[in-house]
Structure 1
Amino acid sequence: MIERLKTLESEALEAIQTSDDKKALEQVRIRYLGKKGAITEVLRGMGQLSAEERPVVGQKANEVRERIQEELAKKAEVFEQAELEQRLANEEIDVTLPGRPMNQGSTHPLTAVVEEIEDIFIGLGFEVTEGPEVETDYYNFEMINLPPNHPARDMQDSFYISDDTLLRTQTSPVQARTLQKHEGEGPVRIICPGKVYRRDEDDATHSHQFMQIEGLYVDENVRMSDLKGIFDTFVKQYFGRDREIRLRPSFFPFTEPSAEIDVTCGICAGEGCRICKQSGWIEVLGSGMVHPRVLELNGFDPDVYSGFAFGMGVERFAMLKYGIDDIRHFYTNDTRFLSQFQHL
């Protein structure tokens, strides 16, 4: 049996060396070390040996098995290394080639306008305050002097969720909530940016959803001249130092007196053109002195405190500043449009 084991060892080592691939190498392993392999058959015949021969044959069989296993492992490593080298050759990367450019996003023009307006008003002493977009009728209308069945509600065709809950039609509820938090003690200087919702026609100048910034300044001895001074400064910083403003009488149920604020047309410099309908002026926002009833409803003494409020559409300011002719561009996610504002 010793000679048989030596012969099997020699045959197995030669077969290992001549194996061409992993599949052939596995066949060699099965042939010599498998359950029905040649080495196993030798071990099964050890029962016919004498007690003195068994340890000698068993030791030799283990030596042969270990030698064959070692050579199998070495040959398998050779095949694995060859496969790795082939794969690396096939997957070779030319590191000198230029990389693929990554498209970078940019700030949305409406976001840029909101941030610019916020910066200006923060510099004028205002704070930025936000509130919920789903509001109660109480804050959205009643606390700004629009009780149920008030005819001015018809100006805002609203999205109601329930009889007392709706998507806010303006950011005025934030003003009411802030006034109530101050519990009748001024001063209050805030601007309220955010989305608002109205069932407007979907055309080039209207949208059912749009951005608005409202502001409120309440303190002792606040006058209409303060309102004009604030907005003269704001317009010059936002549109340019050559722009002028004017106030026109208007009506809003939450301010008295009320005024529309116009700015000189940036196309014709106030001379008159098609854009400003030959007037030289473009309307940009509504404003006025806070109605005494609004102060009273929200806990302020109108005999002690006064103030002014204003509201502006962010889309309108963006359209005027960047020459955009259709409000729908802001919400269609067209990258051809948005890519024009990567400098913001």
Structure 2
Amino acid sequence: MELALVIGVIVVALVFDYTNGFHDAANAIATSVSTRALTPRAALLMAAAMNFLGAHLGTKVAQTVGSGIIDAPDGTHGLVIVGAGLVGAITWNMITWYFGLPSSSSHALIGGLVGAALASASVVHWDGVVEKVVIPMIVSPLMGFVLAGAVMIAILWIFRRANPGRAARGFRYAQTFSAAAMALGHGLQDAQKTMGVIFLALVVGGYASPGDPIPQWVILAAAAAISLGTYAGGWRIMRTLGRRIIALTPPQGFAAETAASAILYIAAMGFGAPISTTHTITSAIMGVGATKRLSAVRWGVAGNIVTAWVLTIPAAAAVAAVTYLILHGILE
């Protein structure tokens, strides 16, 4: 029974990873596609490959998700908690995808795990949630906005005498590299979150110890699932990020991607913090738009996005709590 549950939770975790990929594909490529630096299909293929590579660059974020958020009890009860958390995250991903809102898959997962743990009266590491989730959730968008604005101002000053058409062509080529860096950072951040959940299921099921390294097969499975999801694409959200917030130019797209990818690397490799790639790139796009003029940013659209950000953790937690109660009644 427990082996079947472990396998079931792993499958659900990989489904979440796949939805993360197509939900967040826009994070890496929307700006490059909207500025026509890359064709949609070429951008998706590049993003999928870089997501796969990025998943192999570290496990600090996976360790945070696997052991720093909740303590699930061993056995069937713990597996039900983890499974319910994943269902909550997947449900919120699908709702926001349907409405084209770039919400955070990362925060949906954290919210799902916390909601299921609270419903089951399990331990939630609130210090870890605050330190590794809440504070980075506030800081990373602010840093994305400010850093992207600073990069854009530097570009405007450095290329102030350049021929506009020639500069735009040059930045279209440069966006190939900045989009690749963004996709690499997305794989580094988001694939690790699924690794952490699978590892948590293995520990709860008795197939791993908390101090063990993340198994290689877990890394490969998570990397493959998020890459396949990325290649499937998330066109609804891509339109929101690439066009509806601001009409991006190639220099603006390059500045936003460069700033956002730098923040993703620092958070993952320096602090093991599971920050949202969605929040980071969205705020970076707003930052580059604001350097032109504040009215260049469609703040109404931005307001809808921020509302989805605020709702993500509690909404995913609520779905996960209800799912736990249903599964608990059926399986235990």
Same fold (TM over 0.5): no
Which structure shows the bigger proportion of residues in helix conformation?
Answer: 2
Greater RCO between the two (CA within 8 Å, min separation 6)? 2
Which structure shows the bigger proportion of residues in strand conformation?
Answer: 1
TM-score class, shorter-chain normalisation, is under 0.3
